[in-house]
Amino acid sequence: MWRRSGSRHGAADLAAAIELGVLDGQLPVGTRLPSERELAEALDVSRTLVAAALDRLRDAGLVASRRGAGSWITKPRGRTPEPVSPDVPQAIDLVRAATPAAPGVLAAVDRARLLLVDELGRHGYTGTGLPALRERIAARYTARGLLTSPGQILITNGAHHAFVLVLRMLTHPGDRVLVEQPTYPNALDAIRAAHTTPVPVALGEHGWDLAGVEAAVRQTAPRLAYLIVDFHNPTGYRLDASGRAELGALLARTQTHAVVDETFVELDLEGDDGPPPLAAFAGDWAITVGTVSKSHWGGLRIGWIRAPEDLATRLTSARFASDLGSPVFEQLVLAELFDAGDPDPAARRAVLRSQRDALTEALRRELPDWRFRVPSGGLSLWCRLPEPMSTRLAIAAANHGVQITPGSRFSAQGGLEHWLRIPFAQPADRLADAVTRLALAAASVRAQPADDLPVA
């Protein structure tokens, strides 16, 4: 997982993986580490290697140990622990694939203020969501070729919340959840947090291997699948209409529910309407989750679930176990945004295309041995690195003022050290600057002296 295949750098790799966990917020300060013996057993390596890794981390001030009390994560000494925060001046945030708000959000806020007057006379608990917003979302699906009634829509606090609600409703601890490999890291975290097991199916050079999906479904009988068929995160692939027909039939035939995450569906860079939603081919087996986080603004925190009406009702009741509804004001703002429509979709696409192209040009210039496919939508490039160094590169990049997520975070089982996701959600000059810093970081990683510690 954390080790480069055939690597002689075992201790360095393990230390780097733990360091990344700290920088990434996965291992907060104070986290107690398992004993050397437990770690060695769990990772199937020697105690010598674990001890050497812990020595390195102690030297870096990331771990403290006391005899009898074990080891725990400490605040890094002599370096800022905050570089992962996008708020640090000069740090370039390539962790998030999200743009600033689209034009028109502030104007919609102003209009929604007036509509709020009516809502203030009510109690404000909207349950499934404001009827006016559910109607608009249903109409948008119908316009895309998927007949939908407002009763099929449940408003949530974003697409991720939507996924977690469905996951909790349809799975039990111990179930398997089929995912694409690579996939969205927070979805993997949610799957693990629900005590279910992600079953990865690799995306190939041309996207989905539907025979592979069928084989995995037959072999592992997953309770649920989690799929991103519109500008997949992180690869940017989009499944075409015939692929959707095949995949939809497969889900129905094998009676497998799928959550179809449409977070990036509106982010097509070429102005192409795209095929109908997967649910148009899979019937009730597809539960669609949507959001305006990428199309309008992540700060609205509004998303939704489109499901068969009875499931939408059950999901609403189940939701009350954890939260009582989405904010009324943001729902009003979104209804206003939908009514106004995008004033200039071509201009927005042109900006995103120019950012994507600035990134690809800078990479070709400064890192010519990195390989990628130029996506026609989404917000990121999925780059193949010349060496399995993604984790070490992410750590080195932090020292050069770039926050970036290593490939392993997109994997159900670690690995993917040959891969790095680079979002193009920033202005062109900042992306060019980021690539220069990544090139420096890559050079520093490649220049690292061989570690003479034995590998277990």
User: Which residue ranges make up the site for ligand PLP (CB under 6 A)?
Assistant: 97, 158-160, 184, 228, 233, 261, 263, 291, 293, 298, 303
d(CA 20, CA 27): 9
Cβ closer to ligand PLP: 24 or 366? 24
Residue 99, token pair as written in the block: 């743009």
Least Å distance, CB 266 to ligand PLP, is 12
Cβ closer to ligand PLP: 148 or 233? 233
Least Å distance, CB 161 to ligand PLP, is 6
Cβ closer to ligand PLP: 127 or 298? 298
d(CA 355, CA 348): 11
Beta-strand pair 70-73/92-94: unpaired
Candidates 389, 410, 422; CA nearest to 180 is 410
Least Å distance, CB 303 to ligand PLP, is 4
Least Å distance, CB 415 to ligand PLP, is 20
Cβ closer to ligand PLP: 297 or 370? 297
- Decide if 150 contacts 138 (C-beta within 8 A): yes
* Number of Cβ within a 10 Å radius of residue 55: 15
Cβ closer to ligand PLP: 14 or 190? 190
Cβ closer to ligand PLP: 184 or 372? 184
Least Å distance, CB 158 to ligand PLP, is 3
The residue to which tokens 């206003």 are assigned: 336
Cβ closer to ligand PLP: 2 or 226? 226
* Number of Cβ within a 10 Å radius of residue 204: 10
DSSP state of 276: P
d(CA 419, CA 438): 14
Candidates 387, 383, 403; CA nearest to 395 is 403
- Decide if 240 contacts 272 (C-beta within 8 A): no
Q: Name the residue number minimizing CB distance to ligand PLP.
A: 158
Contacts of 37 (CB under 8 A, 6+ apart): 47
Q: Which amino acid is at 110?
A: D
Q: Decide: helix, strand or coil at residue 197.
A: strand
Phi-psi region of 74 (alpha: psi -120 to 50; beta: other; left: phi over 0): beta
Least Å distance, CB 369 to ligand PLP, is 28
Phi-psi region of 154 (alpha: psi -120 to 50; beta: other; left: phi over 0): beta
Cβ closer to ligand PLP: 31 or 295? 295
- Decide if 167 contacts 177 (C-beta within 8 A): yes
Least Å distance, CB 288 to ligand PLP, is 12
Cβ closer to ligand PLP: 186 or 197? 186
Q: Which amino acid is at 31?
A: T
- Decide if 99 contacts 295 (C-beta within 8 A): no
Least Å distance, CB 64 to ligand PLP, is 34
Least Å distance, CB 107 to ligand PLP, is 22
d(CA 340, CA 380): 28
* Number of Cβ within a 10 Å radius of residue 215: 12
Cβ closer to ligand PLP: 13 or 261? 261
Least Å distance, CB 299 to ligand PLP, is 9
